[in-house]
Structure 1
């Protein structure tokens, strides 16, 4: 009898490799009855099927677990990519703010240097001398304005005298000529105006401070003649 025809090896094959063990049992165990062979085939077949299904379910559960792990890893990868993009954006903003701060610091440094130079230049000057120079400059300007005011006053007075001489009716008689006198330009006539009044006058007929102006200027300002003195 060969070794694979022995009962022990056939039982081992039935457990380890059911198809081979079942074949050897039906082929070489002629002394076993049909009921024993059928029962052994059914029992070991069920045992082999249970082992196969348990192994298959284990593999399926492992595959599902691996799938879940893979999905979790992919989700973590996407989250990490999102965090990297957010950090990159924050880094860009920080770089821009850093450049802006550097520019502000440089500007403040320039202003500080300018202020230091100004303070240094001011410390070299004598405050009393500087104040005296300002007073002298203001006095010179005041003197110039006074001289200009006097010149304007003299020009206004001479214009008033010239205008009154031109508008006098006796001027044509004293000239000793029979030629008709030329009418004076009324727009250049000098009139008196108060600072707050709305009328012009030919003489001071009331209270207030008067100043001389041409009739053209008075009419341009919408002033009307005073009925008391005209």
Structure 2
């Protein structure tokens, strides 16, 4: 008798591999009753189906778990790709800003070099002497103008005092002769040292001095709208 015809191997195959064990049982166990073989076939068939379904269910559960893990990995991968794109954009912006700052630094360095050259040229003794000579010339001219203004103010004051000291002569000459237009060249006006207009009275703050209208016009002064 061969090994697969023995009862023990047939029962083992019914448990481990039901289709093969069932075939061997019906083929070589003629002495078993049909009802016994049918009952054994039914019992082992149910057991085999239960094991098969359990295995399939476990595989299905594992497949679902693996599918969920795969979806999670794909979502994480997509999120990482999005973060990488965002970081790439930020890096590009930083590179552009870095280039802009580098250009500004170069421009500032050029300006600094130009300023240093200017300072060096101004520090030259010849340039310093030339500037000092110009300053001295301006101060001298300013002194001359101040002296001339003082002389004109003194002359104006003297002329004003002379006109005030002889009112009778003015009145008599006005009575004897027809009225003559006033000499505008000898008219006395008021001028401030820093002003650009002449006045006939002190209409504002400042230090006024008297001057002739001729001198005011020669200096390019215009009449004050508040006074005239």
Same fold judged by TM-score > 0.5? yes
Cα distance in 2 between the residues matched to 1:45 and 1:176: 158
2:85 paired with 1:85: yes
Cα distance in 1 between the residues matched to 2:67 and 2:154: 113
Unmatched 5+ stretches in structure 1: 1-5, 192-213, 223-230
**What is the correspondence of 1:16-31 to structure 2 with a 5 Å cutoff?**
16=17, 18=19, 21=22, 25=26
Task: Give the alignment partner of residue 200 of structure 2, picking from 202, 216, 226.
Answer: 216
Cα distance in 1 between the residues matched to 2:105 and 2:94: 16
Q: Which has the higher contact order (CA 8 A, sep 6+)?
A: 2
2:143 paired with 1:159: no
In the alignment, what sits opposite 1:105? 105
**Is this contact kept in 2: 1:18–1:44, CA < 8 A?**
no
2:163 paired with 1:149: no
In the alignment, what sits opposite 1:72? 72
**Is this contact kept in 1: 2:18–2:45, CA < 8 A?**
no
2:155 paired with 1:171: no
**Is this contact kept in 2: 1:190–1:215, CA < 8 A?**
yes
TM-aligned CA distance change 1:182 to 1:161, over 3 Å = farther
TM-aligned CA distance change 1:133 to 1:88, over 3 Å = same
In the alignment, what sits opposite 2:44? 44
Cα distance in 2 between the residues matched to 1:70 and 1:61: 14
